[in-house]
Chains A and B, each alone.
Chain A
Amino acid sequence: MAKEVAILGVGMHPWGKWGKNFVEYGIKACNDALDDAGLEWNDIEVVAGAETVRNGYAGYVAGATFAEALGWSGARVSTSYAACASGAQAINNARAMILADMADVILVVGADTTPKGFLAPNAGERWADPDWLRFRLMGCTNPTYFALYARRRMDLYGATEEDFAAVKVKNAKHGMANPYARYHKEFTLEQVLESPMVADPLRLFEICATSDGAAAVVICSMEYARKHNVDPVKIRAVSTITPTYPQTTIDMPYFSTDSAAAVEEPALSFKDSIAQAAYEEAGLGPEDMSLAEVYDLSSALELDWYENIGLCPKGDAEKLLRDGATQIGGRIPVNPSGGLASFGEAVPAQALAQVCELTWQLRGQAGDRQVEGATAGITANVGLFGHGSSVICSV
């Protein structure tokens, strides 16, 4: 089991398409997190930034960009990039510095400003880059992969288009009560099922949009929290593992899986192993969780996550959903924040936003979306190119 660190403060900028510089969103989130922690900027010893790759040099050096914007204070900085898992990497780096006694209190921040439409690869002729080649040779977009997983659930487990739509309906309803969500609109099953088909069997309202947004988390040592007389939410685990060879599930942005002809495939799939590593580190299991925030890049993908994080056996996710277990008020609410269905994705901020939601839920501050009596929660996510991301927090 890993030593604990404390979450002293959290803050977010609402998700949307605001058309502003990402730094502006990030500063708002930082100041909210500092206020929530009862700290001033000058109290912060390190800024751990999650990088955005769409906003030029300032985005590549996110840690320094926010340190400069808040006013050079001599703080150390770090910057992490792990695609959608960047926020978890930034938290993990901050946690490591605290556990190594290199710092007591650290500000972790991620913010993004995004373009419209499908995420496209970087420009130019890049014949050695699989992310470029998959578009050129196959027209293989991100929704391609989401759709492959969705269709496989239908053919193997009897999932229906109505099941996928029901995930969207649930998450949209949850998001109605979240002031930071981009969309505040309830959907009926019919509305989702009438939206245009994008990548069969997934429809427009079932595929996550890209958004602007920012999230920040102040973490500190348990001693520091006690000195500030706080009984904090604790980070019990941060899993940032990579796959174990051979990775036999087709994954973005690759053309193929690894071959299992010469080396037997591991007992757990990559996505199963991400949560397993987090549970082991926390000394907790799925049965201890009160809620989960998972990456619903598509509605169907949320069902895969139920199984990957151990909420039910393989093939039972549809039953869990149909029984209402994963809605607020159910046995194990999933995405009480509204999830990506209500937010759209702001890549470097999203894994941090998941942790903000756990914090509010575990403090009992989640308002109309509160999961009653929540004592522990898990986040789960994967970043492009093999970045696992799972954080477990508890009271």
Chain B
Amino acid sequence: MTEKNVAPSIEGWFTTGDTPHLIGTQCKTCQTYFFPKQDLFCKNPACRSTEFDEVELSRTGKIWSYTEHYYRPPEPYISGDDFEPYTIAAVELDKEKMVILGQVANGVAHADLTTGLAMEIVVETLYEEEDTERTVWKWKPVTD
């Protein structure tokens, strides 16, 4: 059996490797952060900048809230025949002072989570195509 290719489910939203990051932008004028990337106009109402730096966002934060889903969501979510409940967390980044959603890593039980728990970004498979595994960012409890 040949190994499948591994590719992100969406281009340019996250880095991969041992210490993956979400990729955001930061306004060159007012320093505000954006995720997903904002690179046309600044959303700070007091700033008209159109120039941004692409930045790697902090890869850790604390849980704002979380939930586990027991039903298969509608398309365009892609789920196989063997649907399993999945968990979603909203995690607040300290430095960027923003909350970002993501699924929770495979194998982490909903019962192990609590508001305020430290989490980090990992990259895992979201769904599989015939010859490609499509990946996405997920949140995972920080282990020392």
Write the residues of chain A forming the contact surface with B, with a CB cutoff of 8 angstroms. 117-118, 120-121, 123, 125, 127, 130, 132-141, 143-144, 147-152, 155-156, 196-202, 245-246, 248, 250, 255-263
Contact = CB atoms under 8 A, between A and B. Distances in A.
Nearest to B71: A198
A117 B30 CA distance: 43
Given A139-B103, A248-B99, A262 B27 contact: yes
A137 B34 contact: no
Contacts of A245: 43-45
B74 interface: yes
A133 B90 contact: no
A248 B99 CA distance: 8
Contacts of B103: 138-139
B50 interface: no
B98 A257 contact: yes
Interface string B24-38: 000100111111100
A139 B77 contact: yes
Contact of A259 (B74, B86, B97, B101): B97
Given A250-B99, A261-B31, A200 B70 contact: yes
B65 A149 contact: yes
A139 B32 contact: no
A120 B98 contact: no
Contact of A155 (B10, B71, B86, B114): B114
A199 B69 contact: yes
Given A140-B101, A151-B67, A248-B97, 5 more contacts: A139-B77, A255-B36, A258-B32, A261-B97, A261-B98
A156 to B, nearest CB: 7
Interface of B: 9-10, 27, 30-36, 43-46, 64-71, 73-79, 86, 88, 90, 95-103, 110, 114-116, 126, 136
Given A155-B65, A197-B70, A260 B98 contact: yes
B122 to A, nearest CB: 14
Contacts of A121: 76
B73 A141 contact: yes
B32 A262 contact: yes
A232 B23 CA distance: 56
A12 to B, nearest CB: 29
A261 B32 contact: yes
Nearest to A255: B101
B76 A136 contact: yes
Contacts of B126: 137
Contacts of A137: 9-10, 126, 136
10 contacts: A130-B36, A135-B77, A138-B88, A140-B101, A197-B68, A250-B99, A256-B99, A257-B98, A259-B97, A261-B97
Contacts of B98: 248, 256-261
B107 to A, nearest CB: 17
Given A135-B73, A140-B88, A261 B100 contact: no
A141 B9 contact: no
A127 B11 CA distance: 10
Contacts of B31: 261-262
Contact of B68 (A135, A155, A199, A248): A199
A262 B32 CA distance: 5
Nearest to A119: B74
The 3 closest A-B pairs by CB, nearest first: A147-B67, A155-B115, A120-B74
A144 B78 contact: no
Contact of A152 (B32, B65, B102): B65
Given A151-B115, A152-B65, A261-B31, A135 B99 contact: no
Contacts of B33: 259, 261-262
Nearest to B76: A136
A135 B32 contact: no
Nearest to A142: B73
B100 A135 contact: no
